[in-house]
Structure 1
Amino acid sequence: MNFFIYIKNRTIAVLAVFAMSVALYATLYVAGVDTFVIWYCICLIVIVALVGLIADYIHRRAFYRELSQNLTAMSEHAFLAPSMSAIPATYEERLFHEALVAMSKSMMDRLAESKTASREYREYIEMWVHEIKTPISAAHLIAQNNPDAATDAMDVQLSKVESLVEQALFYARGTALDRDFSIRPVSLEKVVRVSLRTNARALIDAHVTPRLEHLACSVRTDPKWLSFIVSQLLINAAKYRREDLPLGTSFVTVSAVQKEVSTGTRVTELIVADNGIGIPEQDLSRVFDKAFTGENGRRYAKSTGIGLYLVHQLCTKMGLSISVTSQVGAGTTFTITFRESMLDLLDA
């Protein structure tokens, strides 16, 4: 708070001094007092009032400056600023500070309630997902033990339900990676093969052939979360295949490139590329946005816009980066980048 803002907020006091000066001038002038003496008295009153205002400004400036600095420094957690402010000296500042503390406490209570409700809901979703897997697995067995056209079609739909249930589980867990998160050396080939087995039915039904290239390398990550990410990319490759291609020519290639970009830093790129319908250029910058379906989602398949959003969120939380390039009619390529320092590799 600068002095001009302070004076603006003390307009009544300034007007009071001005009115008193006018009244004093009129009274002394009528009484026949010398003009020099009148102006001397008025100047003395103005000087005393100005000194008082400056002293009060200096006294208050420290409190407001500290509060402003705390608000700026804490940014998104500005509601915690009152707890870091100095004890106010004036009654007005004390009332203001108490009001801020009360609001801060109310906000923290609401945040605590919200976190508790969110945690309980997440735990319920996780429990529900684990419970629903049992009847889904039983239904799979029934369909496999009674093969015919109807049960085969039912088994396909069960696989889709299973995929969506798994997506719901990872969506719920995505806000609390620390509960189910383990970074360790992982073979990329093993993780990719697990994802292929999980989504084999979707790829077979879509007539998309998987190709694995140069995956004999390891990275430090969580295998379960990485497997889910790869699964989502494989499902997209099956979902957005080109219908006009001859049978057996649709493919999705999963490969890896490992290189040392600088002294002590190694980069591994996991690349998932398909020859599907591709993504329109105007949609590329938004494919990782939550609930964004784009032109392909509206034209070719029912899409929720959650899969790639989850992929991006999980990559970010695990310290990975993901990028996408695409050409309509030629295919789409996703690149997941793992950056590891030599210290990480030695610890492994």
Structure 2
Amino acid sequence: MIKLYLRERISWILMFFFGQVLLLLIAYLDHSIPFRSVLYIVFLFTMLFVIFLIVRYHRETAFIKRLNDWETSLDVSGFADAASPFEKIMEAALVNQTQQLHQTASRQQIALEQEKDELLAWIHEVKTPLTAMHLMIGRLENDKAKASITFEWLRIHHLLDQQLHQLRLPSIENDLYIEKVQLEDILFSEIKSLQSWCIQKGIGFDVQLDATETLLSDTKWLAFILRQLLTNAVKYSESFSPDIIVRSFFEQGRTVLEVTDFGRGIDAKDLPRIFDKGFTSTTWHQDSAATGMGLYLARRAADTLHIQIAVHSEVGLGTTFTLTFPQPNELVRITGM
């Protein structure tokens, strides 16, 4: 800050020293002027000038520091003691600009909330005919047509479900209900919902649950996380490929769940980015079915539930997603127990 201040005032400093040097030069050339007296006066003025610079430095940099605080917090209360006329002009401009920013932000927040509410209402409205459509599909006698329509219905259902959870994600802390859940029940429920898709692709699930104890978690959000992993496993598995392996076990006092498919896999350069919002793939960039949102939302929800999510994959060999659940005492902060 000192260097910036001196650079800002360099013209004034140079002007002062130029005047002092000029005064000494005149006293040196004009013998009628006592040089030592002039030198003493120059010394006194220099000392006063240095003290003046120090005082002004603390005064002016204080205003600059308040500007920095305003830039990060938009708090204008620190400008109440603006001293110089220029500072008062800047203060008035910043206060006016801050008020406009707050008004704009408020309007945008209201508009965003209205848009969110409208989208939520639309999703719930669409779910009604979607449920009716599912009942109608169940009455179809042509098995081939029934499987194809069910697959498309399932895709729509999952996209709507993903959009619904995306809207709820910013306020997930308010939506959590931590309770004792059975991992096995949630897992089989999600696998059952994918049954028609699995039949169409000719693949199944090999479930090996060694850890079936009760967990502390949120049923709805845990089901959503499992849904994303299981859906991806089915989506990116080739038709009639080996069964998707789902197994659980204990490791260092924690429950671990692995979902392993034998599909196309993920390129090593893509692995660090697969949980990024909107990222699909660099290897399969032409895949228009991918939205780049499922794993992002799953990771966000897992972080909130203190579930560690990891991935291991090799191109052409398949992918393994690992969920490591927290110990009960780690959820005390969430549950308040």
Q: TM-score range by the shorter chain?
A: 0.7 to 0.9
In structure 2, what is the Cα distance between the partners aligned to 1:327 and 1:347? 41
Tell me which residue corresponds to 1:310.
297
Tell me which residue corresponds to 2:20.
21
Deviation of the 1:121 alpha carbon: 2.0
1:115 maps onto 2:129 in alignment: no
Residue by residue over 1:7-42, the C-alpha shift from the partner in whole angstroms, topping out at 9 and shown as x without a partner, is 322234323423443554566655821222222222
In structure 2, what is the Cα distance between the partners aligned to 1:338 and 1:43? 74
Q: Which of 163, 177, 182 lines up with 2:177 in the alignment?
A: 182
In structure 2, what is the Cα distance between the partners aligned to 1:343 and 1:334? 22
1:207 maps onto 2:207 in alignment: no
In structure 1, what is the Cα distance between the partners aligned to 2:51 and 2:301? 61
Tell me which residue corresponds to 1:74.
none
C-alpha change, 1:57 and 1:292, in structure 2 (3 Å) is: closer
Tell me which residue corresponds to 2:9.
10
Tell me which residue corresponds to 1:238.
234
Report which stretch shifted further, 45-54 or 91-100: 91-100
C-alpha change, 1:27 and 1:330, in structure 2 (3 Å) is: closer
1:270 maps onto 2:257 in alignment: yes
Contact 2:147 2:196 in 1 (8 A): no
One-letter amino acid matched to 1:9: E
Q: What runs of 5+ residues in structure 1 fail to find an aligned partner?
A: 72-76
Q: Which of 249, 253, 257 lines up with 1:257 in the alignment?
A: 249
Deviation of the 1:227 alpha carbon: 0.8
Residue by residue over 1:245-284, the C-alpha shift from the partner in whole angstroms, topping out at 9 and shown as x without a partner, is 4xxxx2122222234x4xxxx4222221222232222222
Tell me which residue corresponds to 2:54.
54
User: Given the two structures, how large is their TM-score scaled by the length of structure 2?
Assistant: 0.84
One-letter amino acid matched to 2:256: E
In structure 2, what is the Cα distance between the partners aligned to 1:172 and 1:47? 65
Contact 2:216 2:328 in 1 (8 A): no
Report which stretch shifted further, 115-124 or 303-312: 115-124
In structure 2, what is the Cα distance between the partners aligned to 1:296 and 1:49? 67
For the residue of structure 1 that corresponds to 2:322, the secondary structure is: strand
Q: Which of 131, 135, 141 lines up with 2:135 in the alignment?
A: 141
Tell me which residue corresponds to 2:188.
193
In structure 2, what is the Cα distance between the partners aligned to 1:222 and 1:32? 95
One-letter amino acid matched to 2:169: G
Deviation of the 1:62 alpha carbon: 4.9
Percent identity for Structure 1 against Structure 2: 27
Tell me which residue corresponds to 1:36.
36
Residue by residue over 1:145-181, the C-alpha shift from the partner in whole angstroms, topping out at 9 and shown as x without a partner, is 2322445432321121111111111111112213432
In structure 2, what is the Cα distance between the partners aligned to 1:139 and 1:95? 66
In structure 2, what is the Cα distance between the partners aligned to 1:178 and 1:244? 41
For the residue of structure 2 that corresponds to 1:255, the secondary structure is: strand
Q: What runs of 5+ residues in structure 2 fail to find an aligned partner?
A: none
Deviation of the 1:347 alpha carbon: 8.0
Tell me which residue corresponds to 1:79.
73
Q: Which of 320, 325, 328 lines up with 1:338 in the alignment?
A: 325
Deviation of the 1:187 alpha carbon: 1.0
Contact 1:270 1:335 in 2 (8 A): yes
Contact 1:257 1:269 in 2 (8 A): yes
C-alpha change, 1:209 and 1:126, in structure 2 (3 Å) is: same
1:294 maps onto 2:290 in alignment: no
In structure 1, what is the Cα distance between the partners aligned to 2:136 and 2:303? 40
User: Given the two structures, how large is their TM-score scaled by the length of structure 1?
Assistant: 0.82
One-letter amino acid matched to 2:271: L
Tell me which residue corresponds to 1:228.
224
In structure 1, what is the Cα distance between the partners aligned to 2:73 and 2:218? 35
C-alpha change, 1:45 and 1:344, in structure 2 (3 Å) is: closer
In structure 2, what is the Cα distance between the partners aligned to 1:269 and 1:122? 35
